[in-house]
Amino acid sequence: MVRKVLAVSALLGIALGLSGCLWVRSVSSFSPVGRTILLPLYIYPMWWLGEPGYQWPRVARAAQTAEIWAIINPASGPGGPPNSDYQRGLSDLQAAGIFMLGYVWTNYGAKPLSDVKAEVDVYAEYFIPYGVRGIFYDGVNSSAAWLPYYQELYAYAKEKGFARVVLNPGTTIDEDYLREGVGDVIVVFEDSYTNFLAHTFPDYVRRYPKERFAILVWGVPDLSAAEEVLRRTPFIGFVHCTDDTPPNEWDTLPPYWEGWAELLRQPLYFAP
């Protein structure tokens, strides 16, 4: 199959008068390549159970197939330094090369800045050594009136050494957040698959790189439906789907987890 792709790619390169080398993505009716799984990993690392009770090794193995950003949430925030169980789980993900983010709840701007920063401090001091390199601010207020609040938190996370900051309003956010560069990635949809099918994304998502946006979709019944999520959102760079539902929709991996990672496989074929 790879040989066929290479042959067709070479012919296309000649026909188009391209010189040098050509990078060709795997053939598909849509392109999941370049997508990243943004995984709310709100599952306790019960390593002593072995598999299947301990789910984190499945996440680690999937990192060989797809790029994964995993959100770590020990206690609706850091809850203090990681205990021995989390140290084990974090080390397993770090060894797999997974980019990890620490969860921080902001209560739509009502949480005092000092309290939010204190949780970022805990992640910086105790979790960075275990590979946590980003902050995931949840409960983000989507109104431009709260932009200064999140500007301060964004800058603070960067000052503490975190490479990426994700904001999660879970809905359409005021475009000022994008214009001002507040948030490296913004979750513009977190809702059910049923509501996803009827959802219209704001026009601005097509004016910015897809790497600026994420969606989290629960109640996705099977792999075919997860593929439909990808088909409908070529302008979204970070995606996760699960079949689970509230009140704890992110405390399991979907039964189609390995197939989901395979959908987002990242190969590029090199044609000389």
- Confidence (pLDDT) at 266: 57
- Confidence (pLDDT) at 25: 31
Element spanning 151, H or E: helix 147-159
Reported as a single tens digit per residue, the pLDDT across 54-105 is 999 999 999 999 999 999 999 999 999 999 999 999 999 999 999 999 999 9
**Stretch 239-259: mean pLDDT:** 97
Residue 24: inside a domain: no
- Confidence (pLDDT) at 101: 98
Do 26 and 33 touch, CB atoms closer than 8 A? yes
Reported as a single tens digit per residue, the pLDDT across 186-219 is 999 999 999 999 999 999 999 999 999 999 999 9
User: Which residue has tokens 């938190």?
Assistant: 153
Task: Place 265 in a pLDDT band, splitting at 50, 70 and 90.
Answer: confident
Task: Place 10 in a pLDDT band, splitting at 50, 70 and 90.
Answer: very low
- Confidence (pLDDT) at 49: 93
- Confidence (pLDDT) at 167: 98
Amino acid at 104: V
Residue 5: inside a domain: no
Residue 97: inside a domain: yes
The C-alpha torsion from 48 through 63 and 130 to 165, rounded to 10°, is: -130
The C-alpha torsion from 47 through 49 and 55 to 58, rounded to 10°, is: 90
pLDDT of 13 > 60? The answer is no
For the chain, what is the mean pLDDT? 88
Backbone angles phi, psi at 269, to 5 degrees: -95, 130
Task: Place 52 in a pLDDT band, splitting at 50, 70 and 90.
Answer: confident
- Confidence (pLDDT) at 36: 96
Nearest to 186 by CA among 213, 226, 225: 213
In the chain, the number of structural domains is: 1
Residue 271: inside a domain: no
**Stretch 13-24: mean pLDDT:** 34
> If you average pLDDT over each of 5-9, 49-53, 63-67, 155-159, which comes out highest?
155-159
What's the chain's length in residues?
Answer: 272
Cβ neighbours around 209 below 10 Å, total: 8
Amino acid at 147: L
- Confidence (pLDDT) at 28: 35
The residue range of the domain holding 118 is 30-266
pLDDT of 2 > 80? The answer is no
Q: What is the CATH number of the domain that holds 167?
A: 3.20.20.70
Residue 72: inside a domain: yes
Which of 114-123, 162-171, 261-270 is the least confident region?
261-270
Reported as a single tens digit per residue, the pLDDT across 146-165 is 999 999 999 999 999 999 99
Residue 103: inside a domain: yes
CA–CA separation, 204 vs 89, rounded Å?
Answer: 38
Residue 61: inside a domain: yes
